[in-house]
Amino acid sequence: MFSEEIKNFKRLGFRHVLLQLLNFATVIASGLMIWKGLGLVTNSESPIVVVLSGSMEPAFYRGDLLFLTNPVNERYQTGDITVYKIPGADIPIVHRVLETHDDKKKDKQLLLTKGDNNYVDDLELYQGLQWLERKHIVGKVRGFLPYIGYVTIAMNDFPQLKYALLGGLGLLALIQRE
Amino acid sequence: MHSIFSRINNVSALLSSCMMALFAAIALSSFVFTADPKGDLGLLSVKVYPASGAKKAHSKQELAFVNFNVTADLRPLFHWNTKQLFVWVEAEFNNTKKSENAVAIWDRIIRRKDDANLKVSGKNKYMLRELTKSFKNAEPAHYTLKYNVMPYVGVLTYGEAARTNAPVEFPLVQKRV
């Protein structure tokens, strides 16, 4: 079945394999550079996130792609949609700011958030904290692309898909000649 | 190369670049629509009561209860890239030297243009409270009606549709009836 491909592979030789590996590494490295560069510009550890829960429906559905920024000297305001990560919780949460309280003595901004599709605020999600603070927040949602991120959810839900995709891409990269 | 892989590759590359160009065009087009509708926000009453919450975190503090009237025609905000509006009423007040507060007390999601002509007379859905747990040193509050336009694709925009003419004082705390 794959005899043709294997023959092809043998004909191309070792140098070709090395070249393709190098190409592959370039692709991965440039992807990483773009990601980290974006992170620097937006001051957010994760400038693009995929929505994982339905708590902001009908605004955001599972798989929607969100673009975040987190400017240092900009305060958060009610109505801003923030992505936050509580220490100890494993996934970041996308919810809207319901209350802001600037504590002038401690020079801190305290926040309370709520999902548009939830009936109660997020106090239960804060794992014992009374308020959310800047240090918990990954970024503010600025832009929105529907459903593009669903691939990553599908890959998480069905790990076989992930391995099939990675394996297939790797194989193609080795076999194909340009 | 005219192998099946390269054909698939070319077609999907073309498809995704066309999609991206289309998305970008739609996102940019919404900057053309610059509606700035204004409405009215009136306060009917403000009362302050001590909380009798069962939750420990919420007990021993004062809560304010607000009745308000909103009339605002937000229909101009709906254009072809508007998925929904999120509108909310917010109370903004300072506490002398201690804190600046902004609290959303009421909100609504509007998904259709027909529903965007707001005529609401309501009370606060969410707790209106102060950081120091008392309204004793709170300065008079401004109440505003704000909106967030959420697109099908593109940038989220915010605006203010109404504001109370003069700041409204918080009354003294009353005993719960």
- Give domain status of residue B25, yes or no: yes
Ranges for all domains in chain A classified under CATH 2.10.109.10 = 48-147
Nearest CB among A81, A99, A103 relative to B104 is that of A99
Given CATH 3.40.640.10, say whether it is the number of domain A48-147. Answer: no
The nearest CA of chain B is from the CA of A91 a distance in Å of 23
Judge if B61 and B84 occupy the same domain. yes
The nearest CA of chain A is from the CA of B163 a distance in Å of 15
Q: What single letter denotes the amino acid at residue A123?
A: L
Contact A61, A69 (CB under 8 A): no
The two tokens of residue A166 are 């990675």
Q: Which long-range contacts (CB under 8 A, 24 or more apart) does A23-32 make?
A: A23/A173, A24/A170, A24/A173
- Give domain status of residue B119, yes or no: yes
- Give domain status of residue B22, yes or no: yes
Nearest CB among A104, A141, A144 relative to B97 is that of A104
Helix, strand or coil, per DSSP, at residue A14: helix
The reply to whether residue B98 touches residue A105, judged by beta carbons under 8 angstroms, is yes
Domain that holds residue B4: 1-32
Judge if B97 and B64 occupy the same domain. yes
Judge if B28 and B38 occupy the same domain. no
Please report the DSSP string for A92-138 in residue order.
Answer: -EEEEEEEEEEETTTTEEEEEEE-TT-SS-GGGGGTT-SSB-GGGEE
Judge if B3 and B84 occupy the same domain. no
- Give domain status of residue B174, yes or no: no
pLDDT tens, per residue, chain A with 178 residues: 677 777 777 777 788 888 888 988 999 999 999 999 999 999 998 999 999 888 888 889 999 999 999 998 888 999 999 999 998 888 889 999 999 998 888 888 999 999 998 888 888 888 888 899 999 999 999 999 988 888 888 888 888 888 998 898 878 777 765 5
- Give domain status of residue B40, yes or no: yes
Judge if B12 and B91 occupy the same domain. no
Among A8, A12, A98, the strongest candidate for a mutation testing the B interface, having the largest count of B CBs within 10 A, is: A98
ipTM of the complex: 0.86
The reply to whether residue A79 touches residue B27, judged by beta carbons under 8 angstroms, is no
Residue of A nearest to B84 (CA): A59
